[in-house]
Chains A and B, each alone.
Chain A
Amino acid sequence: MKLSKLGLSMSLALGLSMGVQAADVEVLHYWTSGGEAKSVAELKKMLEAKGHSWKDFAVAGGGGESAMTVLKSRVVSGNPPAAAQIKGPSIQEWGEEGVLANIDPVAQAEGWDKLLPSVVSDVMKHNGKYVAVPVNVHRVNWMWANPEVFKKAGAELPSTWDEFFVAADKIKAAGMTAVAHGGQPWQDATTFESVVLGVAGADFYRKAFVELDPKALGDEQMIKALETFRKIKQYTDEGAPGRDWNLATAMVIKGDAAMQFMGDWAKGEFSAAGKVPGKDFVCMAAPGTAKDFTFNIDSFVMFDLGNKDLEKGQNDLASTIISPEFQEVFNLNKGSIPARLNLEMGKFDDCAKLSSADFVSTANANTLVPSMAHGMSTYSAVQGAIYDAVTEFYNSDTLTAKAAADKMVKAVAAAHN
């Protein structure tokens, strides 16, 4: 309450000093890399076509960690931007603080409930009202493979974890690196959640990472998943710890490594290198997860600034983001798929088409789950607790899987309350 009042007075003061002007919409985002920056420029153009001016507030830094730190200080000082790139359960956290603007009127007028699958729209609402607008859907449980390396080693593309280890052994025996991995906690977690999904299935995944059921977190299935996950380490190279994800992708592109487990933003790296899906590289679901889908949805929230001009600008921004034109242009650049259903996928590549088809079919089969590694399933505190347990286990040679699972149960409980 106190915050929003402060924000009100600050924005009033700002409004006065700026005099009468078309809405100056300040947008905080962390899309700064090549393809992403191009997409943002597109959004800027579309918003300006509606008569508003775009005030860019880009904060670089991969997963948006730095952007969130900046955002917090802006909000605490009572001076939030008009819109900010926030995703997943964090939207609820911000909603609880009472600082978000209600964009339900636009959403109702445009019938967003019919445009978006309910798993997506649930994330975008706080207390039943739309406060955020989705931009895209990333699939996280992908495996990127270099077919040339598989051929050289005489190995088959794996569709289960058992097949994976057979193939990996052959590639290793042929003197090549089977798995390109970047040993950073979020990348460890990205691979781990695909293993959990492949080993134990979507229902178990949901119990463990969404409902945070301590029984599931300490279960035999979890222990088995942990063991499978750490077995992957022997197929990675020595330079893996600390490596950035795009450098790992480059190893697959150059044929130094056979495969990488990474979300579909990795496709951008392949495309930038002039590689064609299906020919130069293969995109397939991580072993055992072909009928599952872990999603990571980027979205924008609007902050309550108590200013009519700005409100108009914010509403126009929201309806621009959800428009078919923007969803198509943006996702073609970003490698993800549109968040709204029933868009023409003609211009997209085979990976995106597969992703789009699986998105709909897994939503119907109830095997569409939020990505734990990318902050879609829990608050950041719990996500961090899982990260710690997973990454400590992966990097240790002595810790048993049972002990790691127990640690995870303990840490999640501590972070939860």
Chain B
Amino acid sequence: MNISSKPRRSMGDLLPKLVVAPTFLVTLIFIYGFMLWNAWLSFSSSRMLPKYDWVGLAQYKKLFANDRWWVAAENLLIFGGLFIVICLALGLFLAIFLDQKIRAEGAIRTIYLYPMALSFIVTGTAWKWILNPELGIQRMVQDMGFESFRFDWLVNTDMAIYTVVIAGVWQSSGFVMALCLAGLRGVDENIVKAARVDGASMPLIYRKIIIPGLRPVFFSALIVLTHIAIKSFDLIVALTGGGPGYATDVPATFMYTYAFTRGQIGLGSAASMMMLMAVVAIIVPYLYSELRERQHGH
């Protein structure tokens, strides 16, 4: 009895581990392993091909002395900040409006959510045409008779980064709307009714009860939007190509240019380490607070 049941139990113990093992191994090598490899390269003098020597922080020093890097970093701040704030605000408003038990809600919801189904390349290309002063909005309004109308952000060095915000918001605010709508549907109707009985106005109820109740939804949306912003590459490439000049460069396009087209793999690796640090700085506190809350809950 004893002898025969023992191996069977260990087999049962082993099976889940065995099933998970390949995924675990793949993640370990292709995510964490490559992160370490990249970190190693960022401390090397690698140029066209990887080289495994040690030059300390030289690549980071070079990176911080590079004007273009700071343009890219500033662009990420502008783009990321505006993109996240506008997406959250717009998504919330759309969700609140949709939640008023309106007719054809399903159709409208689908329309707003659809841009999410497109790739950023498509979004970027479409907006490139819409915003092109010779083809798009500017031309259309001018042809309608308003000769002095100007909307040339796409080709204006100082304003081009905001066109990226416009296209990004168009694509992603529907997603935030869907999340918020799900959150709103989860709010207990009885609380709202009780507040109404106490004489609270609808705006007050939203401000004091419903929106604070959506906190976890905002957190999830924030995390998703943040990493979309930091990783953004395809949208920039399709919409502005980093231009005019390199005015809309972001860290991801900077890293690609240096590591792959300019034969400065060391510098490119240092740039991607900085991007990793930015993601870590945002994700780790979030994970920490989430996990702590769960422990408190138990």
Q: Are A388 and B243 in contact (CB under 8 A)?
A: no
With A97-B49, A185-B245, A240-B155 in contact, do A411 and B263 touch (Cβ < 8 Å)? no
Say whether A166 faces chain B, with CB atoms less than 8 Å apart: no
A240 vs B245: C-alpha distance when bound (angstroms):
12
A379 nearest in chain B by CB position: B263
Q: Which of A343-358 contact B (CB under 8 A)?
A: none
Say whether B257 faces chain A, with CB atoms less than 8 Å apart: yes
Say whether B241 faces chain A, with CB atoms less than 8 Å apart: yes
Q: Which of B248-279 contact A (CB under 8 A)?
A: 257-258, 260-264
- Taking the closest CB of chain A, its distance from the CB of B169, in whole angstroms, is 21
Say whether B67 faces chain A, with CB atoms less than 8 Å apart: yes
Q: Are B133 and A239 in contact (CB under 8 A)?
A: yes
With A239-B133, A239-B134, A396-B157 in contact, do A69 and B241 touch (Cβ < 8 Å)? no
B134 nearest in chain A by CB position: A239
Residues in A whose Cβ lies below 8 Å from that of B258? 384
Interface centre among A65, A184, A242 (most CB of B within 10 A): A242
Interface string of B144-181 (1 = CB under 8 A from A): 00000000101101000000000000000000000000
Q: Are A185 and B246 in contact (CB under 8 A)?
A: yes
- Taking the closest CB of chain B, its distance from the CB of A376, in whole angstroms, is 15
A407 vs B263: C-alpha distance when bound (angstroms):
21
Q: Are A69 and B260 in contact (CB under 8 A)?
A: yes
Counting chain A residues whose Cβ lies within 8 A of the other chain, the interface size class is: 35 or more
Q: Are B133 and A242 in contact (CB under 8 A)?
A: no
B242 nearest in chain A by CB position: A185
A379 vs B261: C-alpha distance when bound (angstroms):
11
A42 vs B258: C-alpha distance when bound (angstroms):
35
A384 nearest in chain B by CB position: B262
Residues in A whose Cβ lies below 8 Å from that of B152? 238
Say whether B135 faces chain A, with CB atoms less than 8 Å apart: yes
Q: Are B244 and A241 in contact (CB under 8 A)?
A: yes
Q: Which of B46-97 contact A (CB under 8 A)?
A: 47-50, 62, 65-68
Q: Which of A173-190 contact B (CB under 8 A)?
A: 183-185, 188
Q: Are B243 and A380 in contact (CB under 8 A)?
A: no
Interface string of A41-72 (1 = CB under 8 A from B): 00000000000000000000000010011001
Residues in A whose Cβ lies below 8 Å from that of B154? 241-242
Residues in A whose Cβ lies below 8 Å from that of B243? 183-185, 241-242, 391, 395
Residues in B whose Cβ lies below 8 Å from that of A72? 48-49, 260
Q: Are B48 and A392 in contact (CB under 8 A)?
A: no
B50 nearest in chain A by CB position: A76
A3 vs B51: C-alpha distance when bound (angstroms):
11
Q: Are A395 and B67 in contact (CB under 8 A)?
A: no
Say whether A329 faces chain B, with CB atoms less than 8 Å apart: no
Interface string of B124-143 (1 = CB under 8 A from A): 00001000111100000000
With A72-B48, A93-B48 in contact, do A381 and B241 touch (Cβ < 8 Å)? no
Say whether B226 faces chain A, with CB atoms less than 8 Å apart: no
Say whether B247 faces chain A, with CB atoms less than 8 Å apart: yes
Q: Quick one: which of B47, B155, B240 contacts A238, CB cutoff 8 A?
A: B155
Residues in A whose Cβ lies below 8 Å from that of B65? 414
Residues in B whose Cβ lies below 8 Å from that of A184? 241, 243
Q: Which of A398-417 contact B (CB under 8 A)?
A: 407, 411, 414-415
Q: Are A415 and B244 in contact (CB under 8 A)?
A: no
Q: Are B49 and A242 in contact (CB under 8 A)?
A: no
Interface centre among B68, B128, B132, B245 (most CB of A within 10 A): B245
Interface string of A319-343 (1 = CB under 8 A from B): 0000000000000000000000000
A395 vs B48: C-alpha distance when bound (angstroms):
29
Q: Are B132 and A380 in contact (CB under 8 A)?
A: no
A188 nearest in chain B by CB position: B245
Q: Are B261 and A65 in contact (CB under 8 A)?
A: yes
A397 vs B65: C-alpha distance when bound (angstroms):
23
A96 vs B283: C-alpha distance when bound (angstroms):
42
With A76-B50, A392-B246 in contact, do A242 and B261 touch (Cβ < 8 Å)? no
Q: Are A392 and B245 in contact (CB under 8 A)?
A: yes
A395 vs B158: C-alpha distance when bound (angstroms):
10
Q: Are B257 and A384 in contact (CB under 8 A)?
A: yes
Q: Quick one: which of B67, B134, B264 contacts A381, CB cutoff 8 A?
A: B264
Say whether A237 faces chain B, with CB atoms less than 8 Å apart: yes
Q: Are B155 and A411 in contact (CB under 8 A)?
A: no
Q: Are A381 and B245 in contact (CB under 8 A)?
A: no
Q: Are B241 and A242 in contact (CB under 8 A)?
A: yes
A2 nearest in chain B by CB position: B52
With A76-B50, A391-B246 in contact, do A407 and B261 touch (Cβ < 8 Å)? no
B138 nearest in chain A by CB position: A238
Q: Are A380 and B133 in contact (CB under 8 A)?
A: no
A376 vs B149: C-alpha distance when bound (angstroms):
44
Residues in B whose Cβ lies below 8 Å from that of A388? 67-68, 246
Say whether A75 faces chain B, with CB atoms less than 8 Å apart: yes
Q: Which of A126-150 contact B (CB under 8 A)?
A: none
Residues in A whose Cβ lies below 8 Å from that of B157? 395-397
B239 nearest in chain A by CB position: A242
- Taking the closest CB of chain A, its distance from the CB of B44, in whole angstroms, is 14
Residues in B whose Cβ lies below 8 Å from that of A380? 48, 261-263
Interface centre among B66, B155, B244, B258 (most CB of A within 10 A): B244
A interface with B by C-beta (< 8 Å): 3, 65, 68-69, 72, 75-76, 93-94, 97, 183-185, 188, 237-242, 379-381, 383-384, 388, 391-392, 394-397, 407, 411, 414-415
5 intermolecular pairs with C-beta atoms under 8 Å apart: A185-B245, A237-B134, A239-B132, A380-B261, A395-B157
A241-B243, A242-B154 known, 19 other contacts, Cβ within 8 Å: A65-B261, A68-B260, A69-B260, A72-B48, A97-B49, A242-B155, A381-B262, A381-B263, A383-B262, A384-B258, A384-B262, A384-B264, A388-B246, A391-B244, A392-B67, A395-B157, A395-B245, A395-B247, A396-B245
Interchain residue pairs A-B with the least CB separation, the first 7:
A239-B134, A395-B245, A384-B262, A391-B245, A241-B155, A395-B244, A241-B244
